[in-house]
Amino acid sequence: MLMKFVDDSKENVPKRSESLIVGIKGDDMHQAQVQIPTEEPPPLPENDRLKAIGKRATRWDGNLKVSGSGKYTADIRLPGMLYAQMVDATVPHAKVVSIDTTEAEKMPGVKAVHVVEHVLGNAQLRDPKQELPSKYPIVRYAGQPVAAVAAVSPQLARAAALKVKVKYAPLPFVVDRDDARKHDAPLVYPGPADQAGTAGGGGGPKNVPQVGNVHGPAEHKVGYIDEGFSDAAEVVEARYITQVQTHSALETHGVVADWKPDVLTVYASTQGTSTVRDELAYVFSLPKNKVRVITEYMGGGFGAKFGAGNFGVVATHLSKKAGAPVWLMLDRQQEHLSVGNRPDSDQSLKIGAKKDGTLSAIQLVSYGTAGCGTGAGCSGPAINMYKCPNVHTQEYDVFINGGPAASFRAPGHPQGCFALEQSIDELAEKLGMDPLDFRDKNDEFEPRRVERRIGRAKFGWDQRRKAGSDPGPVKRGMGVAQAVWYRIIHMDSAAEVRVHQDGSVELMSGVQDIGGGIKTVLAQVVAEEFGLTPKDISIRIGDTQYPSGPPSGGSCTTASITPAARNAAYQAKLAFLRSVAPALNVSSDDLVLQDGHVRSKSDSSKSWTFKRAAAKMRTSEIAARADRVPDYKNVGRRLNYGGVHFIEISVDTEMGHIHVERALAVQDCGRPMNPLHLESQINGGVLQGISYALYENRILDKQKGLMVNPNFDFYKVIGAQETPKIEIHVIENYLGLSSTDAGGIGEPSTMATAAAIANAFYNATGVRMRRTPMTPAAVLETLGKVRSVTA
Amino acid sequence: MNRFAFTNCDTLDQALSALTPGAELKAGGTDVLDRMKERISAPEKLVNIRNIQALRGIDESSTGLRIGPLMTLGEIAEHPAIQKNYTALANAAAHAATPQIRNMGTIGGNLVQRPRCWYFRSADYDCRRKGGETCYAQIGDNEYHAIFHNSICAIVHPSSTAVPLMALGGSLDVASSDGKRTIPLETFFLLPEQNWTRENILRPGEIITAINVPKPASTARSAYQKWAEREGTDWAIADAGVVLDMDGDTCRKAAIVVGAAAPAPLRMHEAEVMLAGKPITEETARAAGKAAMVKASPLTHNAYKIPMFEVAIYRTILLTAGKMGPDPSAVGGRA
């Protein structure tokens, strides 16, 4: 994750005192006095008093997307462009003896062949000498990139890839987390290994012990866990199992790489134009000013699209060799196998509370597999959700011969919430407390307290019945669970705003829109400053030629880039007013921009349309660039994100079928910038959460070590017919931290859903569902409806 | 995908002469093209029969139904006479696959599509059905596999429409350059014990020319339901096709067929005899479901299908008898 917490106390910039709004609207919202940098624009009032920000502006590029005229990476066509196909390992663990590309190279129309020299994403041995030298990278999972060919058509490239002869010396393999923990399990790595992580995250703890395939523990200790349990009046202890989920973004990973002597241009489906540029510059020893990365439209990433990736490096090699642009998009099978996943988990969680309902101890031991990578830890919720004096967590990564994990929408947290939020419910019941009351007692985070209160009323929580109340085979139940996420700010966030003499305004930034709608939000921010409408502003983003943009990870995009955009707009506005004031015979201090007009504050008869005023500019263009300044000094708010999900389900206890009847997501994200887009993201979060809870599952076959469902036929993702009614309520939680005070929503909106479904399952049936996915098979087994089978 | 010849045919005779060894028929193409892309099949020639008008049409007469094999699943699902008198068939066609597939996929193709077993569908597994030595589902990931007749090859038959067609006593007209024959569906499908590399008795060079369903007695009703992990588009993990001939409240005769339980659609005779001569009640329907599963022999990960099929059969019997509504848990059950 992009953990760049910023402490502004060291910044020695001139400050001024400002009064700004802080707190939750409808709860404790108030004015607070804060020192902010002198250059900063005046603080924004609450959303009700704004014209563009906080409004339901429709998607800036919506028409372009739905009409197909917005070009995604796969749509890029360049003159002379070639198509590439990867050659992937067909075995899960092997030394590559030889790679024969001669037959492929001889095929007419094949223009370049590349053999992979270094594999990105896998863990690396701490001591490479523990493995015998190998000419080619050791294959650690089936689907690992081995080579690639570029040809004049995709069909030819596929045919040529099949002609590349790879000879393997197979090694013993293990693809099951439990099997891999056994003392005699085949070793994925012959010694301790760590995953560096990609540009956008991933990777687990380094310098932890490793025994066999078991890497860890990474520990977190607060207080005295044994004392915590001896203080407890009630203790619950249980084991929870979650599955591996693949990112399954609609758009697969891919690039079009165009190597030219003067500049390498790469169109990439990425969450980080800058991180892809940096990685390619590093790999190809190019200065950063010779690499340009463009992401104009992007079809989802969920955390798996930060670096250049093996495919990006390979496509660049092929372009360099062939002297032509190379198109390389992964297919769905490659997408499932080789570009990341959410690790599974096997969590043993024990928590205890005193008689009065205060938590006294939380103890978590987790094992999870991130394939041949690390990063399966899932203790975030256990550590950060509740106030508890004694916490002890131990996280173990278990190596298997599977594709390496990548950061995935709140890494570790859906797993962690699934266990923690069920245990919290169970403990509440033991103490005879309502689950919401128990959380009120132990959760100090103000937004969640408000969210629980709102949700209780909106959802009709008090109509919730005793567990297992329905007599018939179909049983209904309600559940709740909550989320914790972190305020992450990326300081490499800059924007430039230009005003032209014809009255047109544009914003430029390297930031990319991965689907959340940052283009629209940026247009709203500039429009607010200029008194225009979002549609009046041209937004040019997703290009490293523009001012540096943040990688979109950790739900940081809106919080990081919008203050820079507002500050650039503000500076451009001041320059604009200074430029036109003389021609209008008004002092620039007396001018305001409102409703498409330039107006005199002192003389209401003096008003010009923005366009007419712009014509008076002394130069053809006025531009201002601004960088993200550090967050203002915190006025004492807790700087996390919350989110509480309420779910009602029905369980057909005879068929094992779970139907989600309705969901309510109550969320916070600082100042809501655009409720329409927030709702879209939260809808997506809830749906991805349901899909994780009920359907998705990567299945690796132990016989050959291959994934048996690398498609969307048997890797099951939620569809329209499984989509319940989703109600959304976003609170306004002003933190007073930046010129827009925006936060993030992507991650907090998905992590509690599976846990809420599990709690609803208990309320429906009176039985705990401690594993995902909750398929009919899992449900019937959990309900004791399946006779045991002796194989 | 391999290189292949493509022959467009406008008549059955053209198709019969084009269907030489090494060639494969293409109607809607939703199965064969997929297999070719996945490198499971590599026909030298595709014989495109999609434009043969003589293989289209739905004729309902006093003796029964005659369906051209090129009628799409969508056309069958929406046909008023089928919905009314052959309800189980309309139900099965309506809930197969996706709307897109239903608009392309034909009923003939639906009956002869190859299995969806993930070991069969992966070029990396030289499974027994593809001529190899091993059935990987025996000890592998077999949660979606057969609970009957599964010791040699554990596929489940993928056709939804085969289930009601067999329950309704349907038959197929087939033609080859050697002549014509009619095959009852009951004997059309092959179990692995008979042949583990083919799912039916169609000979090379034969083309289905019609699907016939005898007119059910005026006292008969039928229904089909399918259950899956998802509620919309998904493969069945349990299903049931039921035909009940009623004498007032008493069942004169029952035909009960299940699809996702075995390598071929299976008549559940044990369940049928439980109903004959008895009133259809919750009790008799449940007893029939239980009886159907007595001989089930699940694999390591699919024993959960037994309680599902018991309930699938019981609920579909009651639906057929009008004593229970469509099951909301079934695919499309909430539509």
What local confidence, expressed as pLDDT, does residue A5 receive? 45
What local confidence, expressed as pLDDT, does residue A202 receive? 63
Q: Where in chain B is the domain with CATH 3.30.465.10?
A: 53-113+157-214
| A200 has pLDDT over 60 | no
Mean pLDDT of B44-67: 97
Q: What is the pLDDT of residues B224-283, one digit of tens each?
A: 999 999 999 999 999 999 999 999 989 999 999 999 999 999 999 999 999 999 999 999
Q: What letter does residue B145 receive in the DSSP assignment?
A: S
Residue A198 pLDDT grade (very low, low, confident, very high; cuts 50, 70, 90): low
| A6 has pLDDT over 90 | no
| A690 has pLDDT over 50 | yes
Contact A786 B118 (CB under 8 A): no
| A7 has pLDDT over 60 | no
Write the secondary structure of A85-128 as one string of H (helix), E (strand) and C (coil). Answer: EEEECCCCCEEEEEEECHHHHHCCCEEEEEECCCCCCCCEECCH
What is the residue type of A211? V
- Shortest distance between the Cα of A638 and any Cα of chain B, in A, equals 40
| Residues A110 and A156 sit within 8 Å (Cβ to Cβ) | yes
- Shortest distance between the Cα of A700 and any Cα of chain B, in A, equals 8
CATH topology of domain B53-113+157-214: 3.30.465
Mean pLDDT of A318-343: 98
What is the residue type of A128? P
In chain B, what percentage of residues exceed pLDDT 90? Answer: 99
Q: What is the pLDDT of residues A394-409, one digit of tens each?
A: 999 999 999 999 999 9
Interface of A with B in 545-574 (CB under 8 A): none
Q: What is the pLDDT of residues A350-382, one digit of tens each?
A: 999 999 999 999 999 999 999 999 999 999 999
Write the secondary structure of B49-101 as one string of H (helix), E (strand) and C (coil). Answer: CCCCHHHCCEEECCCEEEECCCCEHHHHHHCHHHHHHCHHHHHHHHCCCCHHH
Report the SS3 class of residue A571: helix
In chain A, what percentage of residues exceed pLDDT 70? Answer: 97
Please tell us whether the domain made up of B220-320 is placed in CATH 3.30.390.50.
yes
Residue A12 pLDDT grade (very low, low, confident, very high; cuts 50, 70, 90): confident
Question: What is the reported pTM?
Answer: 0.97
β partners of residue B257:
B241, B267
CATH number among 3.40.50.970, 3.30.365.10, 3.40.50.1820, 1.10.645.10, domain A40-66+490-627: 3.30.365.10
Residue A4 pLDDT grade (very low, low, confident, very high; cuts 50, 70, 90): very low
Pure H helices in A371-517: 380-384, 413-430, 435-442, 446-459
CA A47 – CA A179 distance, rounded (Å): 55
CA A337 – CA A89 distance, rounded (Å): 11
Q: Is A621 exposed, middle or buried (0-12, 13-18, 19+ CB in 10 A)?
A: exposed
What local confidence, expressed as pLDDT, does residue A207 receive? 87
- Shortest distance between the Cα of B72 and any Cα of chain A, in A, equals 21
Please tell us whether the domain made up of B1-51 is placed in CATH 3.30.43.10.
yes
Pure H helices in A284-339: 309-322, 332-338
Q: Where in chain B is the domain with CATH 3.30.390.50?
A: 220-320
Mean pLDDT of B42-53: 98
CA B27 – CA B104 distance, rounded (Å): 8
Interface of B with A (CB under 8 A): 1, 116, 118-119, 122, 124-125, 136, 139-141, 143-144, 227, 229-235, 237-238, 298-304, 306-308, 311-312, 327-329, 332, 334-335
The candidate with the shortest Cα–Cα distance to B318, out of B223, B217, B219, B218, is B223
Contact A708 B301 (CB under 8 A): no
What local confidence, expressed as pLDDT, does residue A10 receive? 54
Residue A452 pLDDT grade (very low, low, confident, very high; cuts 50, 70, 90): very high
Q: Which of B230, B306, B307 sits opposite A716 (nearest CB)?
A: B230
Best probe of the A interface among B3, B141, B225, B229, by most A CBs < 10 A, is B229
Q: What is the pLDDT of residues A97-107, one digit of tens each?
A: 999 999 999 99
Contact B230 A718 (CB under 8 A): yes
Please tell us whether the domain made up of A19-34+448-488+632-791 is placed in CATH 3.30.365.10.
yes
What local confidence, expressed as pLDDT, does residue B2 receive? 84
Mean pLDDT of B18-36: 97
| A9 has pLDDT over 80 | no
Enumerate residues 6+ apart whose C-beta is below 8 A from A669.
A555, A558, A641, A678, A730, A733, A742, A743, A744, A745, A748
Neighbouring CB atoms inside 10 A of A346's CB total 22
Mean pLDDT of A185-196: 95
In chain A, what percentage of residues exceed pLDDT 90? Answer: 96
| A788 has pLDDT over 80 | no
Mean pLDDT of A244-263: 97
Q: What is the pLDDT of residues A454-503, one digit of tens each?
A: 999 999 999 999 999 999 999 999 999 999 999 999 999 999 999 999 99
Q: What is the pLDDT of residues A491-537, one digit of tens each?
A: 999 999 999 999 999 999 999 999 999 999 999 999 999 999 999 99
What local confidence, expressed as pLDDT, does residue A2 receive? 40
| A1 has pLDDT over 50 | no
CA A540 – CA A59 distance, rounded (Å): 14
Report the SS3 class of residue A394: strand
* A470 touching chain B per CB within 8 A: no
The per-residue pLDDT of chain A, averaged, comes to: 96
The number of CA neighbours under 13 Å toward the Cβ of A758 is 34
Segment among A196-210, B26-40, B152-166, B176-190 with least mean pLDDT: A196-210
